Amino acid sequence: MKGAEAILSKCDVLGLPSVEKFRVEKEYRVKELDGKIRGERTKREARLLARAKEAGVLCPVVYEVKEFIIRMKFLEGDMLHWELQKRSPAAREISDAAGILVKLHSVDVIHGDYTPANLMLTPEGMAVIDFGLGSISNDSEDKATDVVTMKRALGKFGDEFVSAYEKKGGKASVLAMAAEIESRGRYKERN
């Protein structure tokens, strides 16, 4: 599977079903700069996955990290995004998604693309994947951007997500900043 930043392929690590994420070269960047960016993003994503796992979030276990490659546990399940093309989100799914984000934010992990496209429904529960745009930050605006991204992705169910985030222990400062972000011109609905 090829994405904008990486190629994903199934592999095997010590007999375990795994996924290899190879961060692809960007032809438009100077070669040395491209290598540096890809290497840093690969290492950062592996650190974010480890930090998320330590916070109790269901996500892929990292088995191996090389220069531009992460090999991690293959998660069996269905992507929430595709499920929501067929039906509305269940209250439990909204609550679980909010709980995951609260746990990530409690250890200052910013996902960077927190949407149903990066959540999986697995036999073990809801899991989060793809920390490729993530970072570590305790800034309320960074955390609020994750909240706003999911709220917008959920459309008419977005307010339920924000409410669930608050109930799960999301900070008031993050929610206040989310409201401020939405009040900015580019987030307002245009007539």
β-pair type (125-128, 109-110): unpaired
Question: Both ends of the chain: CA-CA distance in Å?
Answer: 38
Please give the model's pTM, rounded to 2 decimal places. Answer: 0.91
How does DSSP assign 31-85, residue by residue? HHHHHHHHHHHHHHHHHHHHHHHHTT---PPEEEE-SSEEEEEPPPSEEHHHHTT
- What's the CA gap between 16 and 5, in Å, rounded? 25
Q: What is the mean pLDDT of the chain?
A: 94
Q: Would you say 71 and 103 are in contact if contact means Cβ atoms under 8 Å apart?
A: no
Residues 121-177: tens digit of each pLDDT:
999 999 999 999 999 999 999 999 999 999 999 999 999 999 999 999 999 999 999
Q: Is 113 a catalytic residue?
A: yes
Query: Which residues, other chains included, contact 122 with Cβ-Cβ below 8 Å and sequence gap of 6+?
Result: 58, 75, 76, 77
Residues 57-67: tens digit of each pLDDT:
999 999 999 99
Domains of the chain: 6-73 (3.30.200.20), 78-187 (1.10.510.10)
Residues 6-59: tens digit of each pLDDT:
899 999 999 999 999 999 988 899 999 999 999 999 999 999 999 999 999 999
C-alpha distances out from residue 176 to 130, 140, 141, 162, 170, Å: 27, 9, 9, 11, 11
Residues 70-104: tens digit of each pLDDT:
999 999 999 999 999 999 999 999 999 999 999 99
β-pair type (135-136, 109-110): antiparallel
- Backbone φ and ψ for 6, nearest 5 degrees, come out as -150, 165
- Active-site residue among 108, 113, 142, 159? 113
Let me know how long the chain is: 191
